[in-house]
Amino acid sequence: MPIRPIVRFPDPRLRRRAEPVGSIDEDVQTLARDLTETMHAAPGIGITAPHVGILRRLVVIQLESDPEPHIYVDPEVVWSSPDRIRHVEGSVSMPGVTDELERHARVRVRYSGLDGEAHEEEAEGLMAVCLQHEIDQLDGIFWIDRLSKLKRDRLIKRFEKLHRIRA
């Protein structure tokens, strides 16, 4: 299970819509394992196939309280609550910077598991935020696109400065 290189902002692949996975084969299972290892090494609590340059609809999320990662194949939000919450977000593709975003407090997601079975799950709080964040990524919406232009421009400048200093 190798750790794969993470695509870094502003790579244009981060803003392209991912294609459905469809049938789950050995390659998809291997990708899910590699994504899990890559996410742990980053470190992060969520990652998508596009984060490693593969434009397929595959998500791995593992919150601190989760004993095992959650793997979502071809996930889609089928319902969102009207109530909203604010949470600090970031990305494995843009390390070192975060900002607060507003998201739906609860969502219902339809997806397939690695076993090919269809599932539907409702999530709230941090898990709901993570699902929306990662599904946005699959749709080609990078998390900073949800910020105001002013906040986005400031965050990009901070990111560029941080990585100029490290280089």
Cα 2 from chain centre: 19
Q: Which one of the listed residues 117, 120, 124, 134 is annotated catalytic?
A: 134
Residue 15 structure tokens: 């803003």
Which residues fall within 8 angstroms of residue 21, CB to CB, at 6 or more apart?
Answer: 28, 56, 57, 58, 73, 74, 112
Q: Catalytic residue at 124?
A: no
Within 10 angstroms of residue 49's Cβ, the number of other Cβ atoms is 25
| H or E element that contains 75 | strand 70-80
Beta strands 99-104 and 84-89: pairing type?
antiparallel
Catalytic machinery residues: 134
